[in-house]
C-alpha cells in the first residue's frame, strides 16, 4: 500500500450522515474494502469503531464515506507492526468496560456502543456496534 500513514483511524469530530455525500461511481469497490476491514477487526480492535461507522453506509456509499475508508487504510499503513500481545500474569482479574453514545446518530437516533473485556492484562473480547 503506497500512501502516507496517519496516526488516527477516523476523525471523531466529522459526523457522517446519509444525505451528505455524492454517490460513488463504483460502490462495489467500497463494499469490498469495508468487508475486508470488517474481517480485519478480528485482530485489530483499534479500528473497530471506525469500521463500524463506514459499514453503516454500504448500501449507498458516497464520496465522503470513501474519504473515511481511505483514512482507515492510511492508519493501517502506519501501524503495520501493531499486534495483539498476550502476557503471562499472576493477576487474573476479569475486567469489562462498556460505553455508548446514547442515540447521537442524526440519521436514525440509534446508539453506538462498544465493549472490551480483559483477563488480567490481556484483552480477550471487544466489539463496537450500532
pLDDT of residue 28: 94
Q: Residue 119 and residue 77: Cα distance in Å, rounded?
A: 29
Model pLDDT for residues 41-74, shown as the tens digit of each residue? 988 989 998 998 899 889 888 888 899 999 999 9
Give the chain's end-to-end CA distance (angstroms, integer): 30
pLDDT of residue 25: 86
* Cβ atoms of 7 and 83 closer than 8 Å: no
Model pLDDT for residues 2-25, shown as the tens digit of each residue? 789 899 998 877 777 776 678 888
Phi first, then psi: give them for residue 8, nearest 5 degrees. -130, 145
Q: For residue 111, name the pLDDT band (cuts at 50, 70, 90).
A: confident
Q: Residue 79 and residue 66: Cα distance in Å, rounded?
A: 20
Indicate the pairing of strand 122-129 with strand 113-119. antiparallel
Share of the chain above pLDDT 70, in %: 92
Q: For residue 112, name the pLDDT band (cuts at 50, 70, 90).
A: confident
* Cβ atoms of 62 and 22 closer than 8 Å: yes
Amino acid at each position: 500500500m503506497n500512501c502516507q500513514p496517519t496516526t488516527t483511524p477516523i476523525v471523531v469530530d466529522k459526523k457522517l450522515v446519509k444525505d451528505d455525500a455524492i454517490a460513488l461511481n463504483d460502490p462495489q469497490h467500497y463494499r469490498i474494502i469495508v468487508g475486508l476491514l470488517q474481517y480485519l477487526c478480528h485482530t485489530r480492535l483499534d479500528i473497530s469503531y471506525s469500521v463500524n461507522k463506514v459499514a453503516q453506509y454500504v448500501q449507498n456509499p458516497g464520496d465522503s464515506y470513501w474519504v473515511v475508508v481511505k483514512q482507515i487504510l492510511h492508519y493501517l499503513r502506519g501501524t503495520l507492526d501493531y499486534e495483539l500481545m498476550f502476557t503471562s500474569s499472576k493477576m487474573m482479574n476479569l475486567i469489562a468496560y462498556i460505553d455508548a453514545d446514547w442515540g447521537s446518530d442524526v440519521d436514525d437516533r440509534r446508539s453506538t456502543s462498544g465493549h472490551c473485556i480483559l483477563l488480567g492484562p490481556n484483552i480477550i473480547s471487544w466489539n463496537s456496534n450500532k
